[in-house]
A and B are shown apart, each in its own frame.
Chain A
Amino acid sequence: MAYVAARGGEQAIAAAEELHTTLNGPLSAVLVQSIERHLPYLVDRVMGEGSLYAPDLAALALAQTGGDLYEAVLLLRAYRSTQPRITYALPVRQSELRTVRRISAAFKDIPGGQILGPSLDYSHRLLRLDVLDDALSIEDRKEEPPALSIERCSMLNAPLPAVADWQRENGLLAPLPDRDPCDPSALPDVTREPISFPAPRAHRLQSLARADTGGVLALGYASMRGYGMSHPTVNELRLGYAEVTLRHPVTGVAFSAGRVRVSQAEIVDTGAGAPGDAPLRLGFTATIGWNEVKTIAGAMLDLEMSAPNPHPAHQEEFVLYHTEPVESSGFCIHYKLPHYVTFGSALDNLRKAAKTGETL
């Protein structure tokens, strides 16, 4: 490895930054607030991959980078590294989520019912050109939703039972093992220790939670198209709010510091296990923010990685190393940096080989 000292570029760098601002518009608090308010799924994606729940900072990162996702994730991760970890929250449990969307593709009559929640899944995928033509926002046209009775509202506030619990009760899934209550501060943590393979399950799921959405989708899609060993179904997909529950350092009383958006997906597949095993197997992924594609594809990869002899693209090491957004994008863009010496050396070798008639 050799380095090149560059001289005389300071003005050009300042001009490049100014041109970037000229093309993308000035950075302002109003812009950041607008991004946070109107592009929540984009903000969620940056928070999920940045592994930090801070909607205003994720919106700022997007504004500052002109919407370059990888740069925004890098900014958020860099900010995260400046902050001390001051505490560990109590674990989030599915049964305690304030669920706003819960669907199952495996069973239509799931306990608690199917809730479509905030979604455009069932809407026409057509551009609303009339919004541009009339210069009216969709919100301006929206009619007031009809009022609902309090009884119906209380149904929603009841916890939605897990589909997997019903499957376990009916012998379709292996029962959950008995576990001692865990110490939230003592879990394996990929941000503090290198990952080794086979990875502890906590490392695998943490890596998937902060993984690149596009990377997870690409590898998951390869499984879906036929390179995988299974043909799974979405057992349960949930979007909701989780309480960040902390303990008061003086009194020990548990309290909520606020709510964060989270999403989780379970994928179910028919067994292929040993005789006597439960007939169904589950894969799981969750992430900060609402991101359905990532959690569904991640849960498929979880299932594939646990299978014996997975396709090379679905081996745990391959998946977890190649879906890390900051390392992969960073390695990619480092090729833009000066490689004059290494490339010049390669050319020298080519010229020498040409003279001597060798091939490289």
Chain B
Amino acid sequence: MDQHLLLSTLARANANAVKAFAEDFIPDLEPITVVVNRTGLAMLPMEETVSGETFYLGEVLLSEAHVQISGAEGYAACLGRDLEQALAIALLDAAYAAGHNRARIAAFVDSQAAALDSADAVFGQQVEQTRVELETF
């Protein structure tokens, strides 16, 4: 499992499930240093289609966390103000980087990814139903 999948999946996953899962890891990861755990903004640039220039669309409220454990660092950012969710993901990122319970973490991420993919597929079906063929007379 790559880091992209872990961070991208858990940022959109059910926050309570992520927190509960990460809670189990804390005793094994001690001592934990929380370098950063705060809310802040990410500026979101966008490429326009007239001349290909990039401009700022606006900012996005994020929670971020940066942690250190023995032998590894972890980082996470997710939309909104849930600092605990960001901290939980950063701990799992650090745990995975340090080789703690990799199989268990991968299985959890895969299950969350499958749930998100399933929800995307259902929504995709609903959108697909609105496809229209137009004719002129």
Contact = CB atoms under 8 A, between A and B. Distances in A.
Nearest to A252: B3
A336 interface: no
A184 B121 CA distance: 32
Contact of A80 (B41, B44, B127, B136): B41
B131 A113 contact: yes
A266 interface: yes
B123 to A, nearest CB: 8
B125 to A, nearest CB: 4
Interface in B64-102: 64, 66, 73, 75, 77-81, 93
A356 interface: no
Given A108-B136, A257-B42, A246 B77 contact: yes
A14 interface: no
A202 interface: yes
Given A92-B44, A286-B46, A260 B132 contact: no
A53 B44 contact: yes
B4 A253 contact: yes
A32 interface: no
Interface in A176-211: 176-177, 179, 182, 184-185, 187-191, 201-206, 209-210
B137 to A, nearest CB: 12
Q: How large is the interface on B (under 10, 10 to 19, 20 to 34, 35 or more residues)?
A: 35 or more
Interface string A261-295: 01010100000000000000011101110000000
Interface string A42-57: 0000011001111011
Contacts of B131: 113-116, 156
A87 B77 CA distance: 10
A251 interface: yes
Contacts of B61: 52-54, 57, 83
Q: Determine which residue in B46, B80, B124 has the highest number of CB atoms from chain A within 10 A of its CB, and name it.
A: B46
B53 A202 contact: yes
Contacts of B78: 257-258
A184 B41 contact: no
A115 B130 contact: yes
Contacts of B7: 248, 253, 255-257
A278 to B, nearest CB: 12
A284 B3 contact: no
B43 to A, nearest CB: 5
A255 B4 contact: yes
B47 interface: yes
A203 B54 CA distance: 10
A108 B134 contact: yes
Interface stretch (A15-23, A147-155, A307-315): A147-155
B129 A145 contact: yes
Contacts of A116: 130-132
A255 B3 contact: yes
Interface string A76-110: 00001001111111111110000011000000110
A113 B134 CA distance: 9
Contact of B57 (A164, A249, A286): A286
A250 interface: yes
A254 interface: yes
Interface in B16-69: 38-62, 64, 66
Contact of B41 (A84, A157, A205, A254): A84
Contacts of A100: 123, 127
B41 A85 contact: yes
A53 B128 contact: no
A189 B62 contact: no
B57 A92 contact: yes
Contact of B124 (A156, A204, A205): A156
A164 B2 contact: no
A222 interface: no
Contact of B55 (A47, A201, A254): A201
A89 B42 contact: yes
Contact of B80 (A56, A250, A284, A286): A56
Contact of B129 (A148, A253, A284): A148
A83 B11 contact: no
Nearest to B43: A88
A339 interface: no
Contacts of A176: 51-52
A242 interface: yes
9 contacts: A54-B80, A116-B131, A148-B129, A156-B125, A179-B53, A189-B56, A201-B53, A210-B58, A258-B79
